[in-house]
């Protein structure tokens, strides 16, 4: 008998409110594409309340005290840039970033309560480059780190954080660098933006050995990319036995993506989803959208990934 773990989606229309200048690759159409990719998979849509106070409490373990206020101030003065030329802001950017955090927290709530065990969080702006006190790489709040911290705060740990975006998740790595309650795995193109993610970056102090990077050469396709995820996930299970999984699901390694320079197809993303589903088994998985900048390719890749992540036979 083929069983499907309860699958749910945490999304909010305010994530469209981040509207960079015309032609910017991180545009609102990405949200529509990511939602379209999950259509027809039978997921329940979670109710998400964009409560600023709750979102800020979720952000507090990840970002510096004044960081959120600085972003809000920049958005009130929009248009402009925040911290980096890669991070233009519009009047709706702050609320969009809060909505992304709210969706990640709602997904963790659903996982912690047993409402669902496979959760898709199609949000923007993305988050994995965001540092404690600095935005970069299109990212403002680190949604994946927020989700991992929420699991830990709920007493669900250790947490595995798996990042398969074509760009290294430097912000997430930095956050957990000296931690042993979260295992961070990143598979990415290297050398490439943001410049970090070499194989010898393994964490330090109590966190030494709890960071694992698989840097791949430009052009890597399905076999290489999915094999790297396979090996990394095997190492996580052996080292940490996670009680929950957070996935930085970036789809800019797709062969049609204008920024990534890789050769992954829908079959490769399906293989990654299957690996994560098998490894997680009965433990929850929260997958948060990161990159993916060609809307049609993004939609197809999301559908392939979620179709295998959300279903498996563990009866």
Query: What structural domains does the chain harbor?
Result: 7-309 (3.40.800.20)
Q: State the catalytic residues.
A: 129
The pLDDT of 2-28, averaged and rounded, is 90
Looking from the CA of 256 toward its CB, the CA atoms found within 13 Å total 10
- Say how far apart CA 209 and CA 194 lie, in whole Å: 22
CA dist 114 and 92 (Å) reads 33
| Angle formed at CA 211 by CA 83 and CA 82, multiple of 5 degrees | 5
Q: What angle do CA 137, 121, 4 make, to 5 degrees?
A: 140
285, 119 in Cβ contact below 8 A?
Answer: yes
For 223-262, how does the pLDDT look when each residue is reduced to its tens digit (9 = 90+)?
A: 999 999 999 999 999 999 999 999 999 999 999 999 999 9
pLDDT digits (tens, 9 = 90+) for 29-74: 999 999 999 998 989 999 999 999 999 999 999 999 999 999 999 9
Of 161, 168, 209, 201, the closest CA to residue 185 belongs to 161
For residue range 71-94, list pLDDT tens digits in order. Answer: 999 999 999 999 999 999 999 999
| Rounded Cα distance, 115 and 199, in Å | 37
This prediction's pTM = 0.97
Question: Quick one: pLDDT at residue 2?
Answer: 37
3-class SS at 293? coil
């Amino acid at each position: 008998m083929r069983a499907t773990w309860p699958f749910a989606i945490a999304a909010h229309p305010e994530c469209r409110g981040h509207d960079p200048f015309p032609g910017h690759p991180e545009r609102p159409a990405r949200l529509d594409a990511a939602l379209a990719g999950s259509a027809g998979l039978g997921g329940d849509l979670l109710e998400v309340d964009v409560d600023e106070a709750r979102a800020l409490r979720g952000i507090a373990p990840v970002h510096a005290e004044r960081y959120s206020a600085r972003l809000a101030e920049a958005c009130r003065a929009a248009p402009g840039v925040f911290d980096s030329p890669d991070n233009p802001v519009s009047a709706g950017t702050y609320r969009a970033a809060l909505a992304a955090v709210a969706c990640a927290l709602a997904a963790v709530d659903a996982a912690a309560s047993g409402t669902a065990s496979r959760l898709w969080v199609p949000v923007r702006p993305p988050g994995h480059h965001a540092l404690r006190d600095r935005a970069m790489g299109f990212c403002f709040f680190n949604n994946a780190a927020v989700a991992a911290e929420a699991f830990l705060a709920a007493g669900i740990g250790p947490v595995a954080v798996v990042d398969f975006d074509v760009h290294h998740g430097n912000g997430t790595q930095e956050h957990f660098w000296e931690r042993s309650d979260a295992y961070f795995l990143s598979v990415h193109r290297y050398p490439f933006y943001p410049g970090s993610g070499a194989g010898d970056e393994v964490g330090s102090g109590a966190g030494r050995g709890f960071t694992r990077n698989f840097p791949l050469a430009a052009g890597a396709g399905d076999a290489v990319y999915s094999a790297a995820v396979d090996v990394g996930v095997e190492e996580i299970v052996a080292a940490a036995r996670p009680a929950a999984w957070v996935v930085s699901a970036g789809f800019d390694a797709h062969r049609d993506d204008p920024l990534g320079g890789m050769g992954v197809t829908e079959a490769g993303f399906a293989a990654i989803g299957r690996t994560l589903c098998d490894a997680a088994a009965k433990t929850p998985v929260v997958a948060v959208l990161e990159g993916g900048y060609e809307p049609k390719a993004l939609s197809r890749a999301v559908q392939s990934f979620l179709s295998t992540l959300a279903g498996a036979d563990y009866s």
